[in-house]
Structure 1
Amino acid sequence: MAGTSSAIVAGLTAAALATVGYLGHRAAATVPAELRAPAPGTTATAHEIPRDAHRRTALPARSGQGERVVYSLDDDRVWLVEESGKVRRTFGVVPSTVDPEPGTYRVTSRSGAVTGSDGVPVEHVVRFASVEGTAIGFSAAVDGSAPQLDPQERTGGIRETRADGAAMWGFATIGRVIVVVP
């Protein structure tokens, strides 16, 4: 009887693994193109926002306390941090041509939908700084594109994906602390 039980368990386990493998393959095959990661060995085009701009996803040390947004200039990454210090969300961004100095800022204004300085319609604009007249803030292009950066033009839009922009919009209300780290 013990031999029969183990054969049944082995058969059920094999069937379960085959089913999970098949379902995983089907799920991967039906992922919309805009949600797929680039194939190994390829790079994102200039028009795409990298899902993970850099590998470092741990919250930077000395990035403040309490509920805040942390923006790393070196990593092109944002963290939405809860009061407890737990990271609610982290994501890569495409920086603008003008960076704010490292320091602590507060959200000063927001716009649901405007045209970006690059002429692209953007949504969920969260502004927090100004450098020599250039407003600095986070935004998401309605068409999902990343900006075509021209180093000769002064732009302050830090571009996010639409999903990340919606998360930022819900989190970064007027007065929310933004900590910029190197």
Structure 2
Amino acid sequence: MSESGSPLPPAARPNSASTSNRRAIGLGAAVIGVLGVAAVGAFVTAEASSSAAVSEIVLEPAVVQAAVLPDLEGDLGQNALEPTTANDDLRADGGCTIEALSVRLGSDGDGVACLQTALTDEGFYDDTIDGAFDNSLAQAVMAYQEDQHLFVDGIVGRESAIELDIWPDEESLITRTPPPPAGATDSLGFALSVVATTGDDAPPLPDNSGSGRRVVYDRAGQRVWAVAEDGEIIRSWLVSGSKYSNEQPGTHTVYSRSDMSTAWNGQAWLPQMIRYQKTEIGNIGFHAIPLHVSDNSIYQTSDELGTRLSGGCQRQANEDAAFMWAFAPVGTTIVVT
């Protein structure tokens, strides 16, 4: 079982008492060694330096709740969970893209025509370029995915589109704010990370991102906002979200939290895991930058935040994860755009 109570795949399960002891020791070291004693204390106290934090945030002890599905980190492969949401941004060189987060059987339009052209150039498609995603195109897609050692499902999402060079320029969608001064805090007194900002300095919220007290996550911009009941942007920061098509847009609710969890494959610690979405293959949520179980080394640096690197969840700088842990108890609204 994972730290969240989730079953691990057989290959990831400890097979001896000594292995269990090593993992238990590693968990303790991971919490203290990487997040630090102060951050661990923030699970309960939030370490807020202003009285405003007490009125805005309902603090609670660390909650560990069982989750039926494993938490999504690791190399999952592309899957079919993403709707065809419009994305009209061009490649950096001005070339065509699939103009959506994914295209599949039944899709049509210029984005599909772009896919047909790309597969024709690669020698996998020799039918009409008519912008219709039919069985012939699906077979060509699967042949290409198999040839390129991609997840074979006949759906063209981010990974397949990147290989075909028909994915939009992601960096053009990212708003990077200057690092805050040393010791800077948000409006509730929580320390800002190098990718965080607050108040009027924060980028504007996406359109149609709800109202009231909530957390907003924009997949295209890899950015999160914590919003007060009156609409104040308490804090905004970059994350590293999913490489795949498994983050579902819409309004969700936090349903489970673990101060430390384990990835589906048992190879990563996921500190301060906040789950808000169940997919067909696992849980998605916010957590601090994951650590390798083998040696507690980090999977990425803070400088890489804003780049899609995870298998499903949203990775955060430790300061932002500590803030989220205090701000988002079970029941918090999460809006994904």
TM-score (norm 1): 0.62
- 2:254 maps to 107
The answer on 1:146 being equivalent to 2:300 is yes
> Does the 8 Å contact 1:144/1:162 carry over to 2?
no
Letter in 2 for 1:155: G
Letter in 2 for 1:57: P
Match of 2:226 among 80, 85, 103: 80
5+ unaligned residues in a row in structure 1: which ranges? 1-35, 38-48, 149-153
CA distance in 2, matches of 1:137, 1:167: 15
What CA distance in whole angstroms lies between the structure 2 residues aligned with 1:66 and 1:134?
Answer: 28
Moved over 6 A (4+): none
Q: 1:144 to 1:160 in 2, by over 3 A?
A: farther
Residues 111 and 103 (structure 1 numbering): CA distance in 2 closer, same or farther, change over 3 Å?
A: same
- Whole-Å separation in 2 of the counterparts to 1:146 and 1:78: 18
Cα deviation, residue 122, structure 1:
2.2
What stretches of structure 2 of length at least 5 have no aligned partner? 1-177, 180-192, 197-201, 292-296, 305-309
Residue 58 of structure 1: how far off its partner (Å):
1.3
Are residues 1:95 and 2:241 paired? yes
**Aligned 8 A contact 1:50 1:93 in 2:** no
Work out the percentage of aligned pairs sharing the same amino acid. Answer: 35
Kindly indicate which of the two structures has a greater share of residues assigned to helix: 2
The answer to whether residue 315 in structure 2 is matched with residue 167 in structure 1 is no
CA RMSD of aligned residues (A): 3.0
CA distance in 2, matches of 1:96, 1:78: 14
Give the Cα separation in 2 of the matches to 1:61 and 1:176: 20
1:134 counterpart (261, 282, 304) = 282
CA distance, structure 2, for counterparts of residue 127 and residue 146 of structure 1: 21
Report the count of equivalent residues: 129
For 1:33-52, list aligned pairs within 5 A. 51=195
Q: Normalising by the residue count of structure 2, what TM-score does the alignment of the two structures yield?
A: 0.35
